[in-house]
Structure 1
Amino acid sequence: MSELYDVIIIGGGAGGMSAGVYAARGKMKTLIIEDKRNTGGQAATTSEMENYPGIVEATGPQLMDMFREHCNKFGVEFARGLVSEITIADDGFIKTLTTSKGEIYQTKSIIVATGATPRILGITGELEFRGKGVSYCATCDADFYEELDVVVVGSGNTAVEESVFLTKFVNKVTMIVLHDQGILDADRTAQEQAFANDKIEFVWNSVVEEICGDELVSGVKLKHLKTGEITELSADGVFMFVGTVPKTDFIKGQVALSPQGYVITNEKQETNVPGIFAVGDVVDKFLRQVVTAAGDGAIAAVAADRYIEEEENWRKSVSEFGGTAMVAFWNPLSKESLAVINQLEQDCKDKPDQRVVTIDTYKSQNIANRFSVSDVPVVIRFDAGQEAKRVNVKDIAELDTLY
């Protein structure tokens, strides 16, 4: 069993390491668990990084090295492992993580930053030739194809940007695009770069039907979507850039996911499980980029800190208090709430076994939701940490019924 962490971040990509910087700088005991040998996630496999503000020119690996250095500065701990299970204590506070090798870690909060993995289309020959001519990472494998011809499947930003990068090494890139001539899914700037590159050719209205070869890839069979005609194209490699699949199998059935398997979060990066947050490409969101992952990480780390502060205060003030705690749920806009709190404080004055605890329902939504409090003011009496009675206060005289 490990020592108790304030936050454990599952995944060492841009979102995870950004959360690590903010958490550790905020004096939280922080651990990042990464299943790969190197941190950086998908960004570490990206050739060019041109749209991260303030970084005019850098490769993905270079930027991720800077993220890692920033984590090291503030004392973020790192461990290698694949988290396979999360269990939560009966009181909902302490979470236990178990890895595929049986290592056990305990923490007060969790930030899921596992990212996504390249989508497998299941084309005939795709898995057979993976690593033998089929690749999902231009940065990793481009130098294997110097002066050779390659095919790129996909037409989004990643496909176009990686095709342009490949032209620094290969003889020719042929992009297989399922849209009509001239239509790509990438943004305008990326499209202009691709169309202006003499080494990039396009096959429109087509999909790859089969990847062919013997021991290595030798070509592809293409199907024209409008005519159904099958043609063959010689190629020494096939690069697949057709989207990603979120890595959420280990929390399926525990944390709410979208139909596509992405984690559903609110504006604080909170999941439906108190104390579990999610950031980066694993989240159901509009834009998946390094800059948005970094923003997610900052938000989640601060939200996790607030969550821990609220939960520890609740335990100290209410659940572990042996006397009577009069818990007033309120918000600053309610005049009735202020009157109720003032009256409770008068009633409990000079009674050492009684105390008044105030819960702002906006700031402490997790605790308010736990006790199904939506309107204010509500006062709940806890005896030795157990709910004894509650009143939805309409008239201040109703407080007498609590005693």
Structure 2
Amino acid sequence: MKEEKQIDLVIIGAGAAGLTASIYAVRSKLDTIVLEDELVGGQIKNSYSVENFPGFDFISGDELASKFENHALKLGVNINEFGYIKSVNLTDHEKIIETEDVIYKAKSVIIATGAKPRELPIEEEKALHGKVIHYCELCDGALYDGKDIVVVGGGNSAIEAATYLTRYAKKLTIVHQLDTLQAEKANQEELFKHENVDIIWNSEIRHVVGDKNIEKILIENVKTGEQSEIHSDGIFVYIGYVPKTDLFKDYININKWGYIEANENMETNIKGVFAAGDVRNKQIRQLTTAVSDGTIAALNAEKYIVELNKNNGGR
């Protein structure tokens, strides 16, 4: 029989939003646990450089994520890395989170699960995932030293990754479905300093031919329908993110894109359940806004728990 634990607050996700929330929660003397089913740090760990976080003109994403984690741990935050959640039951009156070892009965919950990279929408993706199709330049870029690389996408993530990959690539080709890049101008300028970069506009990858190695990549011009072939040794994909909300869809209001609907106080439709960071439906998703969300969610969770305790006679 699994152990049952009564707890003030369960934070689901240990990215920037979740770790910030945990710092505020522990400082508010809330009995708190952070559950993370992957590596602590979230998406920021995979950023080669962070140059827009106040206080740091340059810091690697991995180093900044470590600073967040170490700050939380120094304050005594209980972080359960690879804490896989089997099920949840979230109502106004009851919040149950079941992991492989423990059933947590929480007074409040903060959902900060973030998002995962959107997969390249081709039939060969599953067979080639991790072999020649990748989603993390820091993890896999060195595999392609002196080889040809294709980067798919035109936003900040794609252009930052492409810039990093130029140190390895013999030739780097960006395949983008539009005729302009969406990345910040500073990121574009940094990329275009490198002469081994080419861009194929208005195009999408339709098929990748090959098993362990790529024989050819079939692309299509989305305006003309014209198809052509290009060669590459590896493909790195940055075409957006999919919010990690499947676990909560039976309880929490989620929009048609999968993002959680929460107000500016981070409150969801369930009393005592808050959402923070990239998992929340909002216009701007940046590291600084994730930290802001985590702060607001934790402070409002603390207010909710104090009021709940008063109504329950201090229990």
1:175·1:201 contact (CA, 8 Å) conserved in 2?
yes
For each residue in 1:339-366, what CA deviation from the matched residue of structure 2 results, as whole angstroms up to 9, or x when unmatched? xxxxxxxxxxxxxxxxxxxxxxxxxxxx
2:47 maps to what in 1? 46
1:13 maps to what in 2? 15
**Matches of 1:2 and 1:54, distance apart in 2:** 42
Structure with greater contact order relative to length (CA < 8 Å, sep ≥ 6):
2
1:400 maps to what in 2? none
Give the deviation of 1:218 after TM superposition: 3.5
SS of the counterpart of 2:236? strand
TM-score by length of 2: 0.94
Give the deviation of 1:223 after TM superposition: 1.0
Give the deviation of 1:121 after TM superposition: 3.5
Query: Superposed, which structure 2 residues align to 1:180-199 within 5 Å?
Result: 180=179, 183-199=180-196
1:50·1:56 contact (CA, 8 Å) conserved in 2?
yes
**Matches of 1:210 and 1:26, distance apart in 2:** 53
1:228 maps to what in 2? 225
Give the deviation of 1:250 after TM superposition: 0.6
1:86 maps to what in 2? 88
1:298 maps to what in 2? 295
**Matches of 1:219 and 1:293, distance apart in 2:** 40
For each residue in 1:364-397, what CA deviation from the matched residue of structure 2 results, as whole angstroms up to 9, or x when unmatched? xxxxxxxxxxxxxxxxxxxxxxxxxxxxxxxxxx
2:102 maps to what in 1? 103
Give the deviation of 1:102 after TM superposition: 5.5
Query: Superposed, which structure 2 residues align to 1:141-290 within 5 Å?
Result: 141-180=140-179, 183-290=180-287
**Matches of 1:310 and 1:295, distance apart in 2:** 23
Query: Superposed, which structure 2 residues align to 1:327-346 within 5 Å?
Result: none
Give the deviation of 1:87 after TM superposition: 2.0
Change (3 A) 1:225 1:87: closer
- Structure 2 alignment gaps of length 5 or more: none
Matched to 1:95, the amino acid is K
2:171·2:196 contact (CA, 8 Å) conserved in 1?
yes
1:271·1:278 contact (CA, 8 Å) conserved in 2?
yes
1:33 maps to what in 2? 35
TM-score by length of 1: 0.74
1:157·1:186 contact (CA, 8 Å) conserved in 2?
yes
The yes-or-no answer on 1:115 pairing with 2:117 is no
2:25 maps to what in 1? 23
Tell me which structure has the larger Cα radius of gyration.
1
- Structure 1 alignment gaps of length 5 or more: 321-403
Matched to 1:24, the amino acid is V
1:175·1:203 contact (CA, 8 Å) conserved in 2?
yes
**Matches of 2:193 and 2:200, distance apart in 1:** 16
SS of the counterpart of 1:42? helix
**Matches of 2:225 and 2:93, distance apart in 1:** 58
**Matches of 1:50 and 1:77, distance apart in 2:** 29
2:276·2:294 contact (CA, 8 Å) conserved in 1?
yes
Matched to 2:216, the amino acid is G
1:18·1:294 contact (CA, 8 Å) conserved in 2?
yes
**Matches of 1:310 and 1:135, distance apart in 2:** 47
2:111·2:273 contact (CA, 8 Å) conserved in 1?
yes
Give the deviation of 1:195 after TM superposition: 2.7
What number of residue pairs does the alignment pair up?
312
**Matches of 2:146 and 2:12, distance apart in 1:** 40
**Matches of 1:25 and 1:219, distance apart in 2:** 55
Give the deviation of 1:85 after TM superposition: 2.1
1:95·1:106 contact (CA, 8 Å) conserved in 2?
yes
Give the deviation of 1:88 after TM superposition: 4.5
Give the deviation of 1:229 after TM superposition: 2.1
For each residue in 1:214-246, what CA deviation from the matched residue of structure 2 results, as whole angstroms up to 9, or x when unmatched? 322343111122332221111000011000101
SS of the counterpart of 2:127? coil
1:136·1:241 contact (CA, 8 Å) conserved in 2?
yes
For each residue in 1:235-283, what CA deviation from the matched residue of structure 2 results, as whole angstroms up to 9, or x when unmatched? 0000110001010001102001111110111111111101101111100
2:62 maps to what in 1? 61
For each residue in 1:162-190, what CA deviation from the matched residue of structure 2 results, as whole angstroms up to 9, or x when unmatched? 1001112222210001223xx11112222
1:219·1:237 contact (CA, 8 Å) conserved in 2?
no
**Matches of 1:296 and 1:113, distance apart in 2:** 9
1:152·1:159 contact (CA, 8 Å) conserved in 2?
yes
Matched to 1:241, the amino acid is Y
**Matches of 1:168 and 1:291, distance apart in 2:** 28
For each residue in 1:108-151, what CA deviation from the matched residue of structure 2 results, as whole angstroms up to 9, or x when unmatched? 11000111111123213222111111001111111111111110
